[in-house]
Amino acid sequence: MPNETTAPALRIEVEEVRAAEFAAVPALEFGLRIGNTGGPEVRSLVLDTQIRISAARRSYDEASRERLAELFGPPEMWGRSLRSLLWAQTVTQVPAFTGETRALVRVPCTFDFEVAVVKYFHGLTGGEVPLEFLFSGTTFYLAEGRLRATRIPWDTEADFRMPVAVWKDLMERYFPATAWLRLSRDTFDLLCAYRTRRALPLWDDVVETLLKEAGG
């Protein structure tokens, strides 16, 4: 019998990633295996998850290095500039369990190219993205007939390697053959006026015409 004066000891692993089904916005779901390695039954768990991209823990081909220069500078500087990137912070409610349970961490995914992680994912030509999951939060449990709470230790972590294709396939599902750029309203108004004067049917036509005029 477990000693009910001892708080639960959690072990968390990341097992899989998949596109979220029936989601209004692009989102990925990471499947967690959560084990209680000692102590009483967990009555509920408030799990805070921070996901970071460990950019220095993978290799890059020439095409990727060129695309990622905006984030990390020229390749000769990457020994100093190749840093980890914060991707997401989420809170997940996990119901009661004894020995082991599974939970899903849902991460909304933007396609805004002003966001560093979007530039990073888009810049990769293939392979896997090394991720660090840093867990914290609160575990609720019964001890001596009373509901108690304990903080999840700050060193509760897990690593996971996500295929780049998972993110790219998700973006292609929601934004097929397109990309998004954010403009100031003043710039957008100028482009609208230019499009109207030239009677250009599509925004692609506006950009292509401007590039041709600039000799690009």
Note whether 206 and 200 are within 8 A (CB).
yes
179 band by pLDDT with thresholds 50, 70 and 90: confident
Amino acid (one-letter) located at 190: L
Cα-based distances in Å from 106 to 48, 52, 57, 159:
12, 15, 24, 17
Q: What is the pTM of this model?
A: 0.86
Note whether 24 and 5 are within 8 A (CB).
no
Q: Where are the domains of the chain?
A: 9-181, 183-216
What's the rounded Cα separation, in Å, for the pair 171 and 64? 18
| pLDDT reading at 2 higher than 50 | no
| pLDDT reading at 144 higher than 90 | no
Q: What is the pLDDT of residues 57-81, one digit of tens each?
A: 999 999 999 999 999 999 899 989 9
| pLDDT reading at 11 higher than 90 | yes
CATH top class, domain 9-181: mainly beta
